[in-house]
């Protein structure tokens, strides 16, 4: 999916992720409590370069809700910044692992939220249809 489509659907994807985390969906065996806060931190670091200050002391999946509330309060300015980053083909950011193009870093964050939203939406649909669990983990059923 191209960057414009990912950018256009970011708000919807973020809402899907937060909605899934606030539902009765079983995500205890999934890595979302670690991966989502990491991705939010990476996105916040990128936005910080442009004067946006998001910070949250909340751990786990609840950070997505904090980020969503912050994003909705600053939506116009954040969207303008994201658009500017996606248009800039030369700007870079220094990370712990090296130097990365800002456009590429933003694109990967937007892609992460798209894929996570899709996965969670499928899981919620399966749960609503009362699909059988594919794997039985005895230590979780005890």
| Contact in structure between 76 and 84 (CB atoms under 8 Å) | no
User: What is the structure's pLDDT at 27?
Assistant: 87
User: What is the structure's pLDDT at 70?
Assistant: 97
Domain ranges, ordered by start, for the chain: 3-141
Stated pTM of the model: 0.87
SS3 state at 62: helix
Element (H, E) at 34: helix 32-48
Residue 11, CA atoms < 13 Å, CB-side half-sphere: 12
* Sign for the pseudo-dihedral over CA of 84, 89, 90, 92: positive
Q: What is the mean pLDDT of each run of 10 residues along the chain (142 residues)?
A: 84 97 88 95 95 93 96 97 93 85 94 96 87 63 56
CA dist 124 → 19, 102, 131 (Å): 10, 33, 10
User: What is the structure's pLDDT at 93?
Assistant: 84
């Amino acid at each position: 999916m191209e960057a414009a489509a990912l950018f256009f659907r970011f708000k919807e994807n973020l809402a899907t992720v937060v909605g899934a985390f606030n539902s009765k969906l079983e995500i205890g065996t999934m890595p979302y409590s670690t991966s989502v806060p990491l991705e939010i931190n990476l996105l916040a670091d990128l936005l910080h370069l442009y004067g946006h200050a998001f910070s949250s002391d909340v751990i786990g999946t609840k950070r997505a809700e904090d980020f969503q509330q912050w994003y909705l309060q600053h939506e116009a300015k954040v969207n303008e910044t994201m658009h500017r980053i996606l248009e800039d083909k030369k700007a870079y950011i220094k990370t712990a692992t090296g130097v990365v193009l800002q456009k590429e870093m933003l694109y990967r964050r937007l892609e992460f939220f798209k894929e996570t939203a899709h996965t969670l939406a499928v899981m919620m649909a399966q749960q609503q249809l009362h699909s059988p669990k594919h794997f039985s983990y005895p230590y979780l059923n005890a």
